[in-house]
Structure formats: structure tokens, C-alpha cells
Amino acid sequence: MWFAPASNDYKPGFMVDLMVKDLGLALAVAEDSDLDNAMGRLARELYTAHQQAGNGERDFSSILERLRN
């Protein structure tokens, strides 16, 4: 049976730490291609703040808790 991260107290499937890393890689590619990626920058800012608040090892979907508050 499959459980959503929220039903498992946001235990990691794909951690916030990995999301921050991948967003950084995507932004580097966009920059190298001279693309404006404002949404990517905002996502990385939000995830970095979430990570710095001690949530790096939680599932990336735990950002929903932060956005609700």
C-alpha cells in the first residue's frame, strides 16, 4: 500500500536537501543558457529557508506546512 508523505508525518522519500541541490543545478543550467528562471529562483529561496529551519531531512512535500503558515 502506498502512503502520501503527509500521512507519514513527512518522513523522507525525496528530501528537502535533495530538492535544494537539484533546484541549484537547474538554476545553473538556466543561467548558462541565458534563461530567466524567476519561478526556479523563488522555489529555491523557499526550499532553502525550509531547509535552514531544520527540515532538510524531511520529505520535499513538507514545504506545504510552511506555505500554509
Residue 13 — very low, low, confident or very high, per pLDDT cuts 50/70/90? confident
- Asked if the model's pLDDT at residue 10 lies above 70, the reply is no
Give the relative orientation of helices 38-50 and 16-32 as an angle to the nearest 10 degrees. Answer: 150
Phi and psi torsions of 21, nearest 5°: -60, -50
pLDDT of residue 20: 98
Question: In angstroms, rounded to a whole number, what is the distance separating the alpha carbons of residues 26 and 42?
Answer: 13
Going from the N-terminus, what domains does the chain have, and what CATH number goes with each? 14-68 (1.10.1040.10)
- Tell me the per-residue pLDDT of 31-65, one tens digit each, with 9 for 90 and over: 999 999 999 999 999 999 999 999 999 999 999 98
- Asked if the model's pLDDT at residue 4 lies above 80, the reply is no
Residue 1 — very low, low, confident or very high, per pLDDT cuts 50/70/90? very low
